[in-house]
Structure 1
Amino acid sequence: MTPTPHIVVLGAGYTGLTAAKLLARRAPVTLVNDRDRFVERMRNHQLAAGQPVRGTPLRDLVAGTGIRLVVDRVTRIDPDRREVELASGAEPIGYDLLVYALGSTADLDAVPGAAEHAVAVADAERAVQLQDRMRAASTVAVVGGGLTGIEVATELAESHPDRTVRLVSAGRLGPALSERGQEHLYRTFDRFGIRLHEHAPVAKVGPDGLLLEQGERVDADVVVWTTGFRVPPLAREAGLAVGDNGRILVDGTMRSVSHPEVYAIGDAGAARDAEGREMRMGCGPGGLAGACAVRAITDRLAGRTPRQLAVAYDGQCISLGRKDGLFQYARGGSPVGPMLTGRVAAAVKEAVVRGAGGFSLRHPTVALLAGGRALA
């Protein structure tokens, strides 16, 4: 039996908080997060549209678990000393095992002017900023034709039917969906009156809208940036092996390929599916990776050989306002199997969000059992 280690978990999002609560049953855990509340990131598009979204105090969620909660921002990881340094200047926190779950943020540096003039919804604070700006806006342009952009555009259009909503995409809308799924999106956009600009990469963002690479201008009072995400630079700066996108390179048990005392889960870890492809950033893949890491740590501490992550399918679960949705499985980036739309899909998405942001956080064994199906 391996001696009980001190485990430090960085980040208290869906994946980090669940992992911390599960690991605390086996070893002392310190959880470090830069805010004192858990934020349901999957509801940020609702928050941006002016809908009430709960924020639960982290101390309530870790009460009775034995977890030591530190509300502070990590500024540096020292893998040689096995310590993390904090913005407050408090004593560095030492670790035997580190679970890196710091997530991702919007990449506002990809196009000139985006950082100065666009608003993102990757965090709650910016989503609230968008909510405030929508009060005085008559036209909003959402940049990005992926899942986040689709959800933001439809939520804003439904909540603000008197505003003009545009969606600008560098490619086709919902590229990972089947032809039938894309057709449902087009019908939904028509129903909401959303003006769609496909195959229209953005060259520059200004105070009054967008300049496209083809030279066309798209006027907007507010620009919402939903395309491209980046991870914090801490892992790269610490000397951990990372990919070109900054995600920590991990093996099939979510353990760093360069530092075996570090596990990376959620958006910050470059988990791979059963066919070796890097999995997308998102709550679903992140949750599977988190369950894999928890089981691997537990197995290794018990002297067992851990199982590997073996994800075959990825579920695309999209809300299209409050009364419509789309759910479809994909394998290897290609859609497979049946598709759900309408109120049924909306109910599925709401159940997923409620489960991830409520029941699973208070009863994390459920997430562990569900994630176990993705192991081999």
Structure 2
Amino acid sequence: MTPHIVVLGAGYSGLVAAKLAARRTGSPVTLVNARETFVERVRMHQLASGQKLPERPIKELLAGTGVEFVADRVQRIDAESRTVVLSDRELRYDVLIYALGSRADLNSVPGANEYAYTVADVDHAGQLRDRLRTAGTIAVVGGGLTGIEAATELAESYPDRTVRLATSGRLGSALSDRGQRHLHRVFDRLGIELVENARVAAVDADGLKLDDGDRVPADVVVWTTGFEVSPLAAEAGFAVDAHGRMKVDATLRSTSHPDVYAIGDAAAVRRTSGQELRMACATGLPAAAHAVRSLTARLAGRQPKPLRYRYIQQCISLGRNDALIQFVHADDSPRKTVLTGRSAVRYKEAIVRSAFLAQRHPALTALA
């Protein structure tokens, strides 16, 4: 008897996992996602800046695969009965692949949920785009890759606006010296005002209040610091870490429920060294392929191999005319080598396009 595989979430990792599972196991696969379109999350800062992105209907991406698609929101998971409860139906599963991703954490600082916008999903990015039509001053909170991309994209798209970036540390502290120098040159060229070593205590209608009492005035606040995951895994009784991410072993199987696999941002995946993988499609795609390899091996009575992953680069767009490719060691620490300028723009775009190409041809990811 072939097992019924249910995949929750059709982001970068979930869609690939569903298609690979259908192809490699021959089992019936049902994919559940709240939206009917695939969201290129790594392009949300482009959407927020007013650029038009193509629609990617999930049903079209699944054509010919045999995967059943259900557009609905998961209400809860009953692990004991192996049931996923949706808005208007229930799905029984033999194997569950949990890929519900992450969302912006707007609850850690007072006022963020009420006054801040995000680039974490298409709805919020669209709301930010609409608000920016009348905003004069923009404050981006967070000096990570998402914050850097958002600030530079907005500053380039709206050269007549004031754009500020507030970060709790130093800008680009995880980059090499060459990478940091290039980043600062770009910020200077685009006129982005930098507020470093600043901790935001609250967000209000007039901008940011810092914990030292200073203020960063802004008509619009863009929140890019911190992500959180759905509480569904914890509520179902699956083993989770302190952040609610599902605990998995080296084969991406739940440490508490052997019929469940977790991938992408919603899973606490570790390298063989013990280092936890950061949230990114660059880690979610190979994790999806490996989870299906592990499942396929077990169904065939074989012992699956542990996930082996090494970092290669960090790709940062700096508007449409510049980018920074920071090459890194296996543990994600920076090498001296960087790529900048138009060559980096083409490199970054190739990476983004390949991430979407994997949704059409997931076998490319399975080779990783």
- Comparing 118-127 with 270-279, greater Cα deviation is found at 270-279
Question: Matches of 1:58 and 1:285 in 2, distance apart?
Answer: 21
Question: Matches of 1:191 and 1:67 in 2, distance apart?
Answer: 48
- 1:344 partner letter: S
Question: Matches of 1:34 and 1:54 in 2, distance apart?
Answer: 19
Aligned to 2:240: 242
Do the aligned partners of 2:311 and 2:332 also contact (CA within 8 Å) in 1?
no
Question: Matches of 1:177 and 1:348 in 2, distance apart?
Answer: 18
Q: State the shift of 1:141 in Å.
A: 0.1
Do the aligned partners of 2:252 and 2:261 also contact (CA within 8 Å) in 1?
yes
Do the aligned partners of 2:96 and 2:260 also contact (CA within 8 Å) in 1?
yes
Do the aligned partners of 1:8 and 1:31 also contact (CA within 8 Å) in 2?
yes
* Match 2:184 to one of 186, 193, 196: 186
Question: Matches of 2:289 and 2:327 in 1, distance apart?
Answer: 20
Question: Matches of 1:52 and 1:348 in 2, distance apart?
Answer: 21
User: Is residue 70 of structure 2 the alignment partner of residue 78 of structure 1?
Assistant: no
Q: What percent of counterpart residues are identical? A: 61
**Aligned runs of 1:76-225 on 2, under 5 Å?**
76-87=76-87, 89-90=88-89, 92-225=90-223
Instruction: State the SS of the aligned residue for 2:287.
Output: helix
- 1:202 partner letter: V
Q: Which blocks of at least 5 consecutive residues in structure 1 are unaligned?
A: 371-376
Q: State the shift of 1:274 in Å.
A: 2.9
**Aligned runs of 1:299-318 on 2, under 5 Å?**
299-318=297-316
Question: Matches of 2:168 and 2:253 in 1, distance apart?
Answer: 35
Instruction: State the SS of the aligned residue for 2:261.
Output: strand
- 2:86 partner letter: L
Q: State the shift of 1:291 in Å.
A: 1.4
Q: State the shift of 1:330 in Å.
A: 2.9
Aligned to 1:353: 352
Aligned to 2:319: 321
Do the aligned partners of 1:20 and 1:67 also contact (CA within 8 Å) in 2?
yes
Do the aligned partners of 1:104 and 1:267 also contact (CA within 8 Å) in 2?
yes
Do the aligned partners of 1:40 and 1:54 also contact (CA within 8 Å) in 2?
no
Q: Which blocks of at least 5 consecutive residues in structure 2 are unaligned?
A: none
- 1:178 partner letter: S
Aligned to 1:336: 335
Do the aligned partners of 2:177 and 2:336 also contact (CA within 8 Å) in 1?
no
Question: Matches of 1:159 and 1:16 in 2, distance apart?
Answer: 32
- 2:112 partner letter: A
Question: Matches of 1:68 and 1:161 in 2, distance apart?
Answer: 46
Q: How large is the Cα RMSD of the aligned pairs? A: 1.0
Instruction: State the SS of the aligned residue for 1:336.
Output: strand
Do the aligned partners of 1:274 and 1:312 also contact (CA within 8 Å) in 2?
no
Question: Matches of 1:55 and 1:39 in 2, distance apart?
Answer: 8
Q: State the shift of 1:337 in Å.
A: 5.4
Aligned to 2:4: 6
- 1:77 partner letter: I
Instruction: State the SS of the aligned residue for 1:121.
Output: coil
- 1:9 partner letter: V
Do the aligned partners of 2:176 and 2:336 also contact (CA within 8 Å) in 1?
no
Q: State the shift of 1:338 in Å.
A: 2.1
- Comparing 312-321 with 212-221, greater Cα deviation is found at 312-321
Question: Matches of 2:195 and 2:135 in 1, distance apart?
Answer: 20
- Comparing 216-225 with 305-314, greater Cα deviation is found at 305-314
Do the aligned partners of 2:49 and 2:154 also contact (CA within 8 Å) in 1?
yes
Q: State the shift of 1:179 in Å.
A: 1.7
Aligned to 1:373: none
Question: Matches of 2:239 and 2:203 in 1, distance apart?
Answer: 34
Instruction: State the SS of the aligned residue for 2:38.
Output: strand
| TM-score under structure 1 length normalisation | 0.95
CA offsets per residue over residues 291-334 of structure 1, 9 Å max, x none?
Answer: 11011111111222211112232521110011111112334342
| TM-score under structure 2 length normalisation | 0.97
- 2:297 partner letter: D
Instruction: State the SS of the aligned residue for 1:152.
Output: helix
- 1:267 partner letter: D
Question: Matches of 2:209 and 2:172 in 1, distance apart?
Answer: 22
Aligned to 1:69: 69
Corresponding pairs, count: 365
- 1:230 partner letter: E
Q: State the shift of 1:40 in Å.
A: 0.7
- 1:328 partner letter: Q
Q: State the shift of 1:340 in Å.
A: 1.1
- 1:80 partner letter: E
Aligned to 1:374: none
Aligned to 1:287: 285
Q: State the shift of 1:180 in Å.
A: 1.4
